[in-house]
Structure 1
């Protein structure tokens, strides 16, 4: 049997305030736990430095630096840091708890993301990173593992453990930090980093989101580092042809080997991503704003000498352009259309007269007062929006209310006529607003059979699988009905509310007197997990026969452990030989062997008189606790 060691931190109270509940993740520098802040009664994530690093001042200072860096940022896309401190030999950091997954988890599940998903996530990360850059902080470890996707839809950048205040050239001063797959060329070759190094890492991450793979791979870290320093990151469309070329261009711009050819910080890249988003999501609207689908970025091979050594600012296409611009396809098509439009005006006029006569008739029955139209679905929509949707469809709206177990209170729960039905334009449609679920009386089901209980609870949502536990009730009898909070149901409960039935699995089988194999088979068949214990001596139960079975849980449920106690038979011990020993020496030897001692020698002479007669004789098998006599005859 394998025994999994228990984390000693679980259940520990840190600094008299934070109660550790469970482990979330473990990294090379620290372990992150879910904890409860007892003072403020809220869940938090507490990051505790590994014990073997506690004496390393470098790691300690980096740990404290993370707290200071993150604490300087107050942004909805950056993980909040609440506290930092030391408890005995532990350095810890308290952050907001975000239940959810990381971007790395998402990529593992889906391989790659759509352009729209990529833009949504990048927009949030760039917004948080822009706040850090504005505060003079370089993250230096941008990667999917540090992008948190909360269950409620929030996207946050975390883990500022490698962050530092930015300067013209922020040197690491030690071995390269961060993950090698996302290190910029200047970090690889010169060990310096600034905001543009974060942009490079973000570009690599963007490539991975669009292509589903990292641009540079190798068997050893040095191979990957060499590619970062010497090769240009390819376009994602080389792997996935459907990637829009606007996103291709953005990846190439962000991952230029020369830092001067990249966006100077996250704000600049965020502004360009906003334009790209319009081009990707709605090209027509983007064209109306003067944005063009083609963008010419600075050559990635341009040297600082070619640009005068200054950071190049890339203007969004269609804004502040100078120099001749070639006519695009839209202009050409417009010119052709105008030319064709001059032809055949007379034919068009004749057709318009005929069409207008037919159209008038068609309008009356198709869109006018004599028409029918389909009632739109508005379930789950707010009152104002639902009413507007019905009025826009040509109906007069009458409001009413009704209970609905699914739709939240105040939202539309349906219409009369129902959605999808045809109704005359201008007719009245009743819009029902939800009152929330009806509150129903709960029938008594404890003591009834499970099938009968399910029928009685038909207006509620009963879990498909009941919770089975052993009891003195017959199998199938309902022992309890629990609500969504795990407690017994109150007298009244919401319609369609979640209910779990606790049903008897019958009594635990009596295996006393069975062989160990038979007892094991019987308990396994009943749904328990039996193990064989060390056994006990018994005067009445034969050896290797089961004395009893012991449980350690209450109540006992299916799958719970149970220990079989076998008999070791009668406890027989060989009588020791005490001939030639003094009476007191004999007494000690016999009692140490587990027997009671008796003698007819007075106490005054027991240290000088030796044994020459013992009963039973030496070597005889006698039940432990029996009396052995040693005398001098």
Structure 2
């Protein structure tokens, strides 16, 4: 019979004497331990298996535990908490890691509320380096969260923070999949003890729906962590963990601009690329998120510097911007101890079973597929566009899909240099002060009081480029100065520069109605588009390539895109609203007339 975890103090586990119990949860207990010969103190975590995990199920667990622990011990990286030893003793599997005292990102945010963008980027570089190293060695974190990120001061209390990431591999090591069963709509979310494997605040939508924990799920969790660092809180909160996981599937991550308007829109656009609900559209590595933020912040810093003017150099009277794509798409006190064991004090345990003991739980509606699409839009910004020049499209629709809507204002013809007719009509003392001249090599564009220096497009970063002539044309706005609801072939708003892959879909915002919409490339090579709002309760539908149907994730209504969006299965009674589109000779798809 196993000794209770409280009675293990004073016992020997492997080569280590347990000195003090410092933490305990449903899945694990953590001790301060000392090696033989009075070596440095370490942290030893024992894992608590449920009593009915025995026989073949226990053998399967121990085989997986030893394999995963062996992989963890091979990880040698300055930003990863190392695994010194592992094994089984007194009936408990165990891991040995260093005893590290330090603040976590979670406790830091409780003290400071949020991180500056500069501090966030400094921490992100280290966390991302650790993640990419582990991913390259076939180890997935799976439980990334703010309380797993240790902050250790280097060089004293005023030194720079160094990061150490704890908890690698525990999701795979402790998951119920492959060991036993949980009778639940989301069985892949549970541990061998019937508790949630990880904090639902950080869980990727595809994992909720039964997909595997992989590198892209870690990137999503990292994006949530960055959101939390910048805003001081995560994007979704709920006292019900299963309501929370459904939010990740059914709702879009709020824009940083909505939650924290003082944050640059460019940072929000960078972040949203890590938070795509479709893992195929998401940034595929943590390092790419770092690169996106670095490029944004470098350009913002450059744009904020005062221009250097060469004497005698004439300044252009009219300078404006275009976007040039430059990359391919692609609990606790102040001082705490990092505990690699998963605890579940905030999550109610559910009944688990090993073969022969399955308990049916209360049904919770499950989304059948992943609703993809645009993220929450921020309030409209304003850009002043010079009168002359020809419109030119952006290289990608991603920016229009993911950023704030922009209101285009075209000034009236100049009466004098830099003066509009409305200004000329004012008494001199009431006229707005003239703007300072802008240098030929840099320009500062004020957007709602925030400097917007760059944006991401198609997974890459778009630098601002100064040009002498031309106007900004936004995807989805055919003519900046003369919007129309009846676009012609020349002025039609662009939905996509390319067709989606066959039997695939692209979500977009209808440039005429500003509603969430979906473009489908059907198996018969036909292109169609529909309003995504389910006609039952307005929940956004998604395309299921297996059935070829548009499906409501909440009430499971189905619509046939081959038959004008006709209802195949209720409770919806009306078909989806079709959207007129036009396929152009260059392969681009534009919005047709209503």
Q: Which has the higher helix share?
A: 1
Name the TM tier (shorter chain).
0.3 to 0.5
Greater Cα radius of gyration, structure 1 or 2? 1
Q: TM-score, normalised by structure 2?
A: 0.45
Q: Larger relative contact order (C-alpha < 8 A, sep ≥ 6)? A: 2
Q: TM-score, normalised by structure 1?
A: 0.43
